Chain A
Amino acid sequence: MIPSDHFVRFYNEVFKFLDARNALEPYYKEISRHQELHCLELFRREGLAGLRKYYEKIRIEENCGMELESLPDRIILRMTCCPSLSKVLDSDAAPCPKYCDHCGGWGIPLYIKCGIYYVGNMISRTEPRCEIVYTESREVARQVYRDILDAGYSPDLIQSDLDDWEEIEKNRVERA
């Protein structure tokens, strides 16, 4: 058994294997389908409130340094100490350079299905911190994206589902 404590170090080995074959994206989609078990119904039923409930649980179970700020039109998740990247950096195996990409990788397909916009700023792929904004407003998401760029971050560090806005809008309306 790989202890649940050590899963992310195994995950890192999987990423390195798949990245060498340019095959990360389909794997993220599979993980996303698996995560529907935990999130889909909750997010569809409760929207951003459900998302907050899920990450409150994750904050405890995964021992995150995490701030969750709820505003009327968005939730801001500030990861001040990401336990996942922290463990991968504290490993005798080399980290996958794209390790942080998995977060949006599995999350985005799920958020699209739930009618939620996601704009994540990795800040740095070698530091265990990031900032993610979840919103049901396309305008808010676009502004957040622009603000990150204006702050000088490379587009390579930003993940978002803005390109899928038509699908998000459709799913948000259906959910409501």
Chain B
Amino acid sequence: MLRYQENNELHRDFHGTTDTTLNYIAEHFGEEALKEILRKTGRDVYKSIREKLARGDASELVEHLNWFFFREQGKYRLTVDGDTITFEVMECPAIRHLRKLGLEPSPYVCLQTSEVNAGMCESTPWESEVEVLGDGRCVQTFRRKAVGK
């Protein structure tokens, strides 16, 4: 069950504010500072997902990915195969909306995904990886680490 139950109207323009913020923090405080904020967002805001992952339960993570990309009408394929979750994004709703607003996506737009995902997995037996394919496409992978890693 999702910790944050969102099911009403969407304000997609927040993607523009996120994009502006990514650029601002990176330009004024450096990329490491931006990573710190994003990772903390993943770790603390998504504490519920992280704590379940720590117990070996990926159900909220899967529901989170599916629900919020569905809500924003992203094009994606979500596959759960044993201890590997593969989330293929064919059209990122954030990048699509930025282009609709006439904004150039930040060079850090995909960093938000990789660092937030890493924050969700922090101190858990899971690890994440994002392969950016370009033009709003990526493959996000969550994998349970091999014992001893």
Contacts and interface: CB of A to CB of B under 8 A. Distances in A.
Contacts of B97: 4
B132 to A, nearest CB: 12
A73 interface: no
Contacts, number: 110
B72 A4 contact: yes
Would you call the interface of chain B mostly helix, strand, loop, or mixed?
helix
B78 interface: no
A27 B17 CA distance: 11
Interface string A62-98: 1100000000000000000000000100111110000
B59 interface: no
A75 B101 CA distance: 28
Which bucket holds chain A's interface residue count? Answer: 20 to 34
Interface stretch (A9-17, A138-146, A165-173): A9-17
A62 B4 CA distance: 15
B18 A2 contact: yes
B40 A27 contact: no
Contact of A62 (B11, B40, B45, B92): B11
Interface of B: 3-4, 6, 8-18, 20-21, 24-25, 28-29, 33, 36-38, 40-41, 44-48, 68-69, 71-72, 74, 92-94, 97, 101-103, 112-113, 116
23 contacts: A1-B92, A2-B116, A3-B6, A5-B6, A5-B71, A7-B15, A7-B18, A11-B21, A13-B40, A17-B29, A17-B33, A23-B28, A26-B28, A27-B21, A27-B24, A31-B20, A60-B9, A61-B12, A63-B8, A63-B9, A91-B4, A92-B46, A93-B45
